Amino acid sequence: MNAASDPGPALLEVRGLSKSFGTLRALQEVDFTLRHGEIHALLGENGAGKSTLIKAVTGVFPRDAGIVRLGGAEVAPRSAKAAVDAGIATVYQEVNLLQNLSVAQNLYLGRQPTRFGLVREAEMRRRATELLAEFDLHIDVAEPLGNYSVAVQHIAAIARAVDQSARVLILDEPTASLDRHEVEILFAVMRKLAARGIGVIFVTHFLDQVYEICDRITVLRNGRLIGERTTAELPRIELIRMMLGRELAETTSERAAAQARQVGEICARFEDYGKAGYVAPFNLALRRGEVVGLAGLLGSGRSETARLVFGAERADSGSAAVEGRPVRLQSPRDAVAHGFGYCPEERKTDGIIADLTVRENIVLALQAKRGLSKPLSRAEQDEIAMRFIRMLDIRPPEPERPIGLLSGGNQQKVLLARWLATAPRLLVLDEPTRGIDVGAHAEIIRLIRELCDNGLALLVISSELDEIVTYSDRVIVLRDRSHIDELEGEAVDVSNILAAIAAGTTGAEAGQA
């Protein structure tokens, strides 16, 4: 399918890989080809299937269908350990080494040089020092790994993998917490490895870095392969379109509905609101009955903005006001008291309480808001639960079922119900349609529209640009943790958002002009 112009012998070939979790199809017949000595970017938004692909290839998850060939021979590792033995090593963003052990022990754990059963500490350190020197890293290998910067830890992890004769090296977001200088060091290491013939898969959300170092690019979206291109032949805006957009024609008719809407008074306002190293100070005013979309690539500061607004993270600059009165948002509790609600991106870890029933999950925020001494009676709880189960069409319509047993889409609806029960003035939705099958997806979007028709202010984050364009009155574009542009009315369309993301600062200037 991807017959490239210069097909050197493929090092790693993935053909027709599929993987489902329950009803959710996380990967659908994905092909991927890695050649000897190339650095290959694997791109896509959260939920596009990058992690699933990596984990299915390295045996962390069993795969439903498809084959993987390494150097022409079929491999099917059943654990990450087996994948390493086969020659495929992965270095995750959360470095999978041990912070409490010395650098040398980390490099040689389980294979330390020994004599008479005793570890030859000096020999091990000598070897470790030599090994790291190959990567131009000159450090005291006797120090605990945790004492060193993340960059050093990444290089140590790479060194361990390479020393265990890895032929394919997968780097999952290695540069997310590195500064510019450290990134350059890491890139030098990657180039060196590529020169040795090792194939490097580079997962990142920094497009600049992709253009700086990668030979080819594979883009995934919603578990499907969107395309494989040579970096040099792929303009940046085209790449972003591959990652975020669909066809423009699909959405134009939908826009009309959003534009016809009436918006009301400002109900929440943030001025110079920000936190150093987290999100640059921004101005944001939210009106009743208005949907404001936050658009940008992964890591651009979308979720961070949401967490600041909801008090899950404390701002260190600027001020917030609700209905014109200044307020302090020190914790989610404060935000809830002021009528805010927040459906987080990570539904399972930050949203649902899996053991509790649908009813209990629905009434939770309302109960927390009312306080301990004003418990909702069981009859009130039942009434609230049934009302929202009917209103949002939650299935199965059984309030006493543990929420953990529901599908992702229905869990999301329960979380929406949790906040709607508190009659909020502002609702923040972070990726409300993530990991939800197509039917429920459309329903959630319909709900978002209805909610704002009822006078609720909504701040919605989504990686699906056409989705954001469908329901947003205004779209704020983020890049590199700052709000760089704002599109309103006619200007809200996919190509304008793409242009703003791709152009960065120029887009912001255009917006201000």
Partner 1 sequence: MMPSIMQRLLQTRGLAQIIALLAILAIDRAVSPQFFDLRMQDGRLFGSLIDVLNRGAPVALLSLGMVLVIATRGIDLSVGAVMAISGAIAASLADAYGLPVALAAALGAGLLCGLWNGFLVAVLGIQPIVATLILMVAGRGVAQLITEGRIVTFTAPDLVWLGNGAVLGVPTPVAVVIGMLIITGAVVRGSALGLLIEATGGNARASELAGIGTRAMILAVYVWCGLCAALAGVIAAADIMGADANNAGLWLELDAILAVVIGGTSLFGGRFSLVLAMVGALIIQAMNTGILLSGYPPEFNLLVKAAVVLVVLLLQSPRFANAGAVLGRARQ
Partner 2 sequence: MRLPPVAITAIVFVVGFALCTVQFPNFASTRVAANLLTDNAFLGIVATGMTFVIISGGIDLSVGSVIGFTTVFVALAIERLGVPPLVAFAAILLLCAAFGAAMGAIIHVFDMPPFIVTLAGMFLARGASFLMSTESTPITAPLYSTVSDFALRLPGGGRLTAIALIMLAVVAAGAVLLHFTRFGANVYALGGSRATTALMGIPVGSMTVRIYMLSSVLAGLAGIVFSFYTAAGYSLSAVGVELDSIAAVVIGGTLLTGGQGSVVGTLLGVLIQGLIQTYINFDGTLSSWWTKIVTGILLFAFIALQQAMLGIARRAGPRKAGVLKS
- Interface with partner 2 by CB under 8 A: which residues? 80-81, 84, 96-101, 105, 109-110, 112, 114, 117-119, 121, 136-140, 143, 146-153, 181-182, 184-185, 188
321 burial (CB, 10 Å; 0-12 / 13-18 / 19+) is middle
Identify which of residues 39 and 268 has a Cβ nearer to partner 2 in the complex: 39
Using CB under 8 A, which of 119, 354, 491, 510 touches partner 1?
A: 354
Does 332 contact partner 1 by CB under 8 A? yes
The Cα 380–Cα 361 span in angstroms is 14
For residue 169, give Cα distances in angstroms to 54, 199, 406. 11, 6, 37
The binder of partner 1 chosen from 349, 379, 490, 512 (CB under 8 A): 349
Cα Rg, the chain, nearest whole Å = 25
| H or E element in which residue 286 lies | strand 279-287
- Out of 249, 372, 379, 513, the residue judged to bind partner 1 by CB under 8 A: 372
Q: How big is the site for partner 1, counted in residues (CB under 8 A)? A: 33
CB nearer to partner 1: pick between 100 and 373: 373
SS3 481: coil
Decide if residue 356 touches partner 1 (CB under 8 A): yes
| Cis amide linkage into residue 174, ω under 30° from 0 | no
342 lines the binding site for partner 1 (CB under 8 A): yes
Token pair 């404001």: residue = 292
Shortest Å distance, C-beta 109 to partner 2: 5
Closer CB to partner 2, residue 176 or residue 185? 185
Give min distance, CB of 382 to partner 1, in A: 14
Nearer to partner 1, 281 or 404 (CB): 404
Q: Which does 9 bind (CB under 5 to 8 A by kind): partner 2, partner 1, none?
A: none
Asked if 373 touches partner 1 (CB under 8 A), the answer is: yes
Kindly tell me which residue out of 364, 458, 465, 475 binds partner 1, with binding defined by CB under 8 A: 364
**Which of 439-445's residues contact partners 24+ apart within 8 Å by CB, and which partners?**
439/409, 440/407, 440/408, 440/409, 440/410, 440/412, 440/413, 441/409, 443/393, 443/409, 443/413, 444/409, 444/412, 444/413, 444/416, 445/470, 445/471
Residues of span 291-330 touching partner 1 by CB under 8 A: 310, 312
Q: Give the shortest CB-337-to-partner 2 separation in angstroms.
A: 28
Which of partner 1, partner 2, none lies near 136, with the C-beta cut-off 5 to 8 A by kind? partner 2
Residue whose tokens read 């640059």: 280
How far is 328 from 446, CA to CA, in rounded Å? Answer: 33
336's CB contacts (< 8 A; 6+ apart) are 365, 368, 369, 422
Of 110 and 371, the one with the shorter C-beta distance to partner 2 is: 110
Residues 462-486, buried b or exposed e (16+ Cβ, 10 A)? bbbbbbbbbbbbbbbbbbebbbbbb
Which of partner 1, partner 2, none has residue 460 at its interface (CB below 5 to 8 Å by kind)? none
Return the residue matching tokens 């929406």.
416
Q: Smallest distance, Å, CB 326 to partner 2?
A: 29
Residue 109 binding partner per list partner 2, partner 1, none, with a CB distance cut-off of 5 to 8 Å that depends on partner kind = partner 2
Nearer to partner 2, 148 or 471 (CB): 148
Cβ-in-10-Å burial (0-12, 13-18, 19+) of 428 comes to: buried
Indicate the residue type of 213.
I
Tell me if 370 contacts partner 1 by CB under 8 A. yes
Report how far residue 89's alpha carbon sits from residue 81's, in angstroms, rounded to the nearest whole number. 9
DSSP state of 403: G
**Which of 360, 431, 464, 467: binder of partner 1 (CB under 8 A)?**
360
What, of partner 2, partner 1, none, does residue 137 touch, CB below 5 to 8 Å by kind?
partner 2
Identify what 476 binds: partner 2, partner 1, none; CB under 5 to 8 Å per kind: none
* 248 versus 337: smaller Cβ distance to partner 1: 337
Q: Which is nearer to partner 1, 244 or 363 (CB)?
A: 363
| Contacted by 115, from partner 1, partner 2, none: CB < 5 to 8 Å by type | none
Comparing CB distances to partner 1, the nearer of 236 and 369 is 369
Which amino acid is residue 327, in one-letter code? Answer: V
Q: Which residue, among 500, 497, 501, 493, has the nearest Cα to 250 in the 3D structure?
A: 493
Q: Where are the beta strands (DSSP E) in 296-383?
A: 317-322, 325-327, 340-343
For residues 44-79, one letter each, b for 16 or more C-beta atoms within 10 angstroms of the residue's C-beta and e for the rest, the string is bbbbbbbbbbbbbbbbbbebeebebebbeeebebee
CB of 355 to partner 1, least distance (A): 4
Q: How far is the CB of 353 from partner 1 (least distance, A)?
A: 4
- Per the listing, tokens 């979308």 go with 302
Calpha distance 315→276 (Å, rounded): 8
**For partner 1, the closer CB: 226 or 376:** 376
Binding site for partner 1 (CB under 8 A): 310, 312, 331-333, 335-337, 342, 344, 349-356, 360, 363-365, 367-376, 418
